[in-house]
Amino acid sequence: MCLAIPMKLIKIEGNKGIVALSGVKKEISLDLLKEVEIGDYLIIHAGFAIEKLNEEEAKKTLAIWEEIGTLQKQ
Amino acid sequence: MKYITEYRDKNLSGKIAEKINGYLKGYKGKISLMEVCGTHTHSIFRSGIMSLLSDKIEHLSGPGCPVCVTPNKFIDTAIAYSRLPDVIITTFGDMIKVPGSSSSLEKEKANSGKIKIIYSPLESLEIARAHPEQKVVFLGVGFETTAPLVASTILRAKEENFDNFFVLSGHKLIPPAMQSLLESGEIKIDGFICPGHVSAIIGERPYKPIADKYGIPSVIIGFEPIDILEGIEMLIRQIVEKEKSEVENQYKRVVRSEGNQKALFLMNKVFEIKNSDWRGLGLLPNSGLYIKKAYSEFDAEKKISVKVEKTKIHPECICGKVLCGTKKPYDCTLFSKSCTPENPIGPCMVSSEGTCAAYYKFKKQ
């Protein structure tokens, strides 16, 4: 089952990282990612980070829909 | 929760649904959209978003649950391994209850206790280290999302010179299964909801033949209600406008156009693509991942010989047809009578990703 909730990277130790979500912390492997930084939101699958969330894209999608909502109201 | 709560906004859901239904006002006929990811199956049912949409849209679940598409022979082989005195099986939890031809790993676990449920394939290495006298066999089940993690684990085992860690690889590829459904002509599919995290690994390109050759719009979609609605909006727009069919990406915050190149590199380093047997779909060309010769020291099938019982399939279970979208769970005589999540007869009722399990939990018809 895919875990859709991005978790925040709070610590990096070599190829391992610690991610956190609502107080739960988890050790994960960073082997599948090229570059990560503390504070990145990561998509986790079976103990591995498989991708980094692109915050710019996330904001863009939400902004487009907010705009559509506003236009429909007018 | 950051980047989650916003994607569950009810007002926004209503607005997107209105837009979708607006496209369909003058449209004649039905539109069938298929998802090929068990997490989508459950997310669509749990959120109830289909109830917001025109009944001209039909939702079909395809072969997107890894445990469900794994054929009995794989499970029987795993069970046979578990009965060897010097083997420990490690597996993801949802494989445990899947019935094989005459037993299940859960029953074997109760007998021998040598089957361990793990969360990450890397835990298999810790178990192998703690039990040097035993052979640890990890059951490699899953699509492109999971195969790179297993590849990474095999590479780690090679680096650290493990000689008691093995993988039974049943990994499969999603795009060949989608093409096979279209080739079969048994089912009408007007658009594909492409899996979010498989796509995070493989990117957009592998779906291109589906849009170009078969003319079926394909949209990569995230898992939250707003994601799914936005993705359906993109699909319906393509279908109604009929200008061209293309691959679009709704889940850009996670899926890059080119996918995760590092994960693909590791996957291709360790695995090679060959034909693979799928429950329901049969033997599909170039749809399975097998361990390459260079890493055959970790290939359970090559290194540990075992006698496997003859495959038997429950005569009434229609899981195979449910996986192809040609039958619904409630077409099955066993559904919610003798086959329930507590007592599953077919794998589609076992897994948290299975279509029968989703119908049982959310629809009960």
* Tens digit of each residue's pLDDT (9 = 90 or more) over B56-89: 999 999 999 999 999 999 999 999 999 999 999 9
Residue B308 placed within a domain: no
Question: Total structural domains in chain B?
Answer: 2
- In this prediction, residues B87-108 reach a mean pLDDT of 94
Among B302, B330, B354, the domain-final residue is B302
Residue B311 placed within a domain: no
Establish if A27 touches chain B: CB-CB under 8 angstroms. Answer: no
Q: Pairing relation of β-strands A41-45 and A7-13?
A: antiparallel
Among B276, B302, B328, the domain-final residue is B302
Q: Are residues B357 and B218 in the same domain?
A: no
pLDDT at position A69 is 62
Structure tokens at A9: 């990277």
Q: Are residues B58 and B22 in the same domain?
A: yes
Q: Are residues B284 and B348 in the same domain?
A: no
Residue B116 has pLDDT above 90, yes or no: yes
Chain B interface, best mutation among A42, A44, A50, A67, by max B CB count within 10 A: A50
Q: Are residues B352 and B263 in the same domain?
A: no
Residue B313 placed within a domain: no
CATH code: domain of residue B90: 3.40.50.11750
pLDDT at position A60 is 80
Contacts with A68 from chain B: Cβ below 8 Å = 15, 19
Q: What is the dihedral of CA B214, B215, B216, B222, to 10 degrees?
A: 110
pLDDT at position A71 is 56
Q: Are residues B273 and B323 in the same domain?
A: no
- In this prediction, residues B27-48 reach a mean pLDDT of 93
Residue B346 placed within a domain: yes
Could you tell me how far CA B321 lies from the centroid of its own chain? 15
Q: Which residue of A has its CA nearest to B41?
A: A1
pLDDT at position B364 is 52
Contact A48 B148 (CB under 8 A): yes
Residue B309 placed within a domain: no
Q: Are residues B94 and B150 in the same domain?
A: yes
Contacts with B352 from chain A: Cβ below 8 Å = 1
Contacts with A74 from chain B: Cβ below 8 Å = none
- In this prediction, residues B41-50 reach a mean pLDDT of 90
Low-confidence ranges of chain A (pLDDT < 70): 1-2, 65-66, 68-74
Give the C-alpha separation, B301 to B221, whole Å. Answer: 36
Q: Are residues B193 and B101 in the same domain?
A: yes
Q: Are residues B78 and B120 in the same domain?
A: yes
Which of B19, B92, B152 is nearest residue A31 as measured by Cβ atoms? Answer: B152
Q: Which domains does chain A have, with CATH numbers?
A: 7-73 (2.30.30.140)
Q: Are residues B248 and B333 in the same domain?
A: no
Q: Are residues B223 and B327 in the same domain?
A: no
pLDDT at position A74 is 46
DSSP state of A23: T
pLDDT band at residue B102 under the 50/70/90 scheme: very high
- A41, A52 contact by CB (below 8 A): yes
Question: ipTM more than 0.85?
Answer: yes
Interval B238-285: pLDDT, tens: 999 988 899 999 999 999 999 999 999 999 999 999 999 999 999 999
- In this prediction, residues B149-162 reach a mean pLDDT of 98
- In this prediction, residues B41-57 reach a mean pLDDT of 92
Q: Are residues B37 and B104 in the same domain?
A: yes
Q: Which residue of A has its CA nearest to B121?
A: A46
Residue B307 placed within a domain: no
In three-state secondary structure terms, A73 is helix
pLDDT at position B365 is 47
Which of A4, A32, A54 is nearest residue B266 as measured by Cβ atoms? Answer: A32
Which of the pair, A55 or B34, is modelled with greater confidence? B34
**Nearest partner of B199 among B176, B232, B222, B231, judged by Cα:** B222
- In this prediction, residues B37-42 reach a mean pLDDT of 91
Q: Give B119→chain A minimum CA distance, Å.
A: 6
Residue B352 has pLDDT above 90, yes or no: no
Give the C-alpha separation, B252 to B272, whole Å. Answer: 28
Residue B56 placed within a domain: yes
Owning domain of residue B79: 1-302
Average pLDDT, chain B: 94
Q: Pairing relation of β-strands B135-140 and A24-29?
A: unpaired
Q: Are residues B271 and B327 in the same domain?
A: no
- In this prediction, residues B15-20 reach a mean pLDDT of 94
Interval B204-226: pLDDT, tens: 999 999 999 999 999 999 999 99
pLDDT at position A18 is 97
Among B302, B330, B355, the domain-final residue is B302
Contacts with B142 from chain A: Cβ below 8 Å = 46
Residue B190 placed within a domain: yes
Helix (H) or strand (E) holding B190: none
Residue B54 has pLDDT above 50, yes or no: yes
Contact B94 A33 (CB under 8 A): no
